[in-house]
A and B are shown apart, each in its own frame.
Chain A
Amino acid sequence: MNKRLPFGLAMVLLFIPCLLLGAFTHYPAFRALQNSFWNNSSSRRPSKFVGVENYQTLLQDDRLAQIMLNSTLYALGTIPLAIGLAIGMALLVNARLPGTSLMRLSFFMPTMLPMIAVANIWLFFYAPGIGLASQILGVFGLPPINFLGSTETSLISMMFVAVWKEAGLFMIFYLAALQAVPENLKDAARLEGASATRIFFNIVLPLLRPTTIFVAVNALINAFRLVDHVIVMTRGGPNNSSALLLYYIYEVTFSQRDFAYGATLTVLMVCLLGVLAAVQYWVLNRKAHYQ
């Protein structure tokens, strides 16, 4: 029945949304690319074309190297931990145990909170002396740790915050997937004398694979996109030990007012996400196996 779209109707249906989308997604991406070849203007001189100079700066930027390492560690640390915990939580909530609604509430609550509230809660939790973390250490007679204030622990402390915030959301996806696992498959395995552990590893876990891929990809993109807690808790410090790429873009552009370098970093970010999307596409196309 698909009719041809008359021009007038097309304008009404598509013009405004596409204009907005173009103005705030495609145009800025293009402008970032363009501006990355120019330097900053000042009141005395206009900006001029500098070719790949900004990209040379980028390659020699030691801070950026550290930040890319941080971002990678952050992604590699948070994603598997959050996924593992999410599967565990989903199994617990799905098992019809006494106290299920309390568990679901507790696991899902952090997901509902704004990242900024989560950051405040954890800032207090980690606070030296007064925070619960150092009090618990005190009970066991351990020396206090300055979680956010030392270069060894700041990134790991941020990772815990991210896992706490995200695992509950991933749990929901796994809960949906678990409810779609056919009972008769498990019954058949049980009749054959399979243990609960074997049923989990040989039947349930393979069926959760598409969910895991979906969650992992989203978590990966989020790991690059979510920096609210870095801004509030550490400002990337101490000594850049907890800075992530988007935070660096924010700082370069809006604290140092270096818009040209900010644009160059934006290009890097978009390319990075493009590569991740390509990998996602490739992986998802291969997963058809179980569906």
Chain B
Amino acid sequence: MKNDLNKIMWSTIGLLLAAVWGLPFLYSVWTAFHDEIYSANFVLNAPLTLENFFEAWQAAPFALYFLNTLILITIVLVANLVLCTLVAYAFVRYRFRWSGFLFALIMVQLLVSPEILIVENYLTLSRIGMIDTILGIALPYLTSAFGIFLLRQTFMTVPVSLDEAAQIEGAGAWRVLWNIYVPLAKPIYLAYALVSISFHWNNFLWPLIVTNSPEVRPVTVGLSVFATVESGVEWSLVNAATLMTTAPLIIAFIIFQRQFVANFMRAGIK
């Protein structure tokens, strides 16, 4: 009996905290789905409307922004998966001079990440004429120390006997990588992909610096350009645009909630 009461009490506290925590987001949702006159004015039976979303969608080239983000994410993800796999494979399966030193050099990126080096990376990019291109946004992120670290940890758990058996069967370096190492690391690839996609979907500062024209802007930069309130855009439109640009991630999260949380845990624990 006392136990039940305890449970009810903690459950109430938890739900209360969850409600408070959700307030800023819910307030934004409320405004996005109602007419401007209800934005600071709670009338329970205020009519719901999708008008704000249509208006925001037409006020700025969001379809283009989405496409740009999609291209950016794809370039980064494919490059990361391929390049990190190659490097991790070299470190796990082979020995070579300076390998420890080289690995330490690579791990420097975990700390001194591209966000910190915006000044010099911008100069490099303008020297090679890649300012204002999607590839230019992607360049500093094409190899990831985090991905290399994660895959190296995983590849080290591949049983040596499997590798040797494949070699006896006459498999070369590439067959061994493709048929033994890669399949065994599948969950890690998935986890890494989720983290990478959400990171690059959300990335803002570097794309903001690199892009000038709408043709290459990712959604985050597009949203910030649209939502500069000094330009006189209504709050309901800003909120609709904010929700719209994050909706794919939110929907994906609600559908894959369990896997997402599990994968974040796996990817985060080094």
List chain A positions with a Cβ less than 8 A from chain B.
1-5, 9-10, 12-14, 16-18, 20-21, 23-29, 31-32, 35, 88-89, 92-93, 95, 97-110, 112-117, 120-125, 127, 129-132, 135, 164, 169, 172-173, 175-176, 214, 221, 225, 227-228, 231-232, 246, 249-250, 253-254, 259, 262-263, 266, 269-270, 273-274, 277
Q: Are B205 and A173 in contact (CB under 8 A)?
A: no
Q: How many residues of B contact A (CB 8 A)?
A: 87
CB distance from B72 to the nearest CB of A (A): 13
Report yes or no: B109 in contact with A113, Cβ–Cβ below 8 A. no
Q: Give chain A residues whose Cβ lies under 8 Å from the Cβ of B119.
A: 28, 32, 249, 253, 259, 262-263, 266
B264, A169: Cβ atoms closer than 8 Å: yes
Q: Tell me the bound Cα distance from A113 to B15 in angstroms.
A: 21
Contact B21 A107 (CB under 8 A): yes
A13 to B86, CA, bound (A): 5
Q: Are B202 and A114 in contact (CB under 8 A)?
A: yes
**Total number of residue pairs linking A and B with CB closer than 8 Å:** 254
Return B3 CB to nearest CB of chain A, in Å: 11
Write out the residue numbers on chain A whose beta carbons fall within 8 Å of the beta carbon of B171. none
- Cβ 8 A contact of B94, one of A3, A103, A104, A228: A3
Closest A residue by C-beta to B202: A114
Beta-carbon contacts under 8 Å, B94-153 to A: 94-96, 102, 105-106, 108-109, 111-124, 139-140, 142-143, 145, 148
A18-B21 CB under 8 A given contacts A124-B239, A231-B208, A253-B118: no
Q: Which residue of A lies closest to B147 (CB)?
A: A17
Q: What residues of chain B lie closer than 8 Å to A131, measured between beta carbons?
A: 40
Cβ-neighbour of B204 out of A9, A110, A114 (below 8 A): A114
Closest-by-CB residue of A relative to B145 is: A21
- Asked if A29 and B14 make an inter-chain contact with CB atoms under 8 angstroms apart, the answer reads no
Indicate with 1 or 0, residue by residue over B173-216, a CB within 8 angstroms of chain A CB atoms: 10000000000000000000000001001101100110000000
Q: Bound complex: CA of A3 vs CA of B245, how far in Å? A: 49
B residues adjacent to A (C-beta < 8 A): 7, 10-11, 13-15, 17-19, 21-25, 27-28, 31, 39-40, 83-84, 86-87, 89-90, 93-96, 102, 105-106, 108-109, 111-124, 139-140, 142-143, 145, 148, 160, 163-164, 173, 198, 201-202, 204-205, 208-209, 220, 223-224, 227, 229, 235, 238-239, 242, 245-246, 249-250, 253-254, 257, 261, 264-265, 268-270
**Cα distance A173–B270 when bound, in Å?**
11
Known: A14-B87, A172-B265. A225 touches B115 (CB 8 A): yes
Given A21-B145, A270-B112, residue A110 in contact with residue B25 (CB < 8 A) = yes
Subset of 23 A-B contacts with CB under 8 Å? A10-B94, A14-B90, A20-B143, A25-B114, A28-B124, A29-B120, A32-B119, A97-B10, A99-B15, A102-B18, A103-B14, A109-B253, A112-B249, A113-B25, A114-B220, A116-B224, A130-B39, A131-B40, A173-B269, A246-B205, A253-B118, A270-B116, A273-B112
Secondary structure at chain B's binding surface: helix, strand, loop or mixed?
helix
Residues of A within 8 A of B145 (CB): 21
**Across-interface contacts of A274 in B (CB, < 8 A):** 111
What is the chain A residue whose CB lies nearest that of B236? A124
Contact of A4 with B95 at beta-carbon distance under 8 Å, contacts A106-B22, A109-B25 already known: yes
List the B residue with the shortest CB-CB distance to A167.
B21
Chain B residues closer than 8 Å to A26, beta-carbon distance: 105, 108
Q: Which 7 A-B pairs have the closest CB atoms?
A: A28-B120, A114-B202, A5-B94, A106-B18, A24-B140, A13-B90, A5-B96
Not counting A12-B86, A105-B254, A221-B111, a sample of 15 additional A-B residue pairs whose C-beta atoms are within 8 angstroms of each other reads: A9-B94, A24-B121, A27-B124, A29-B120, A106-B22, A110-B25, A113-B246, A116-B224, A122-B24, A173-B269, A176-B268, A231-B208, A253-B119, A254-B209, A269-B116
List the B residue with the shortest CB-CB distance to A1: B160
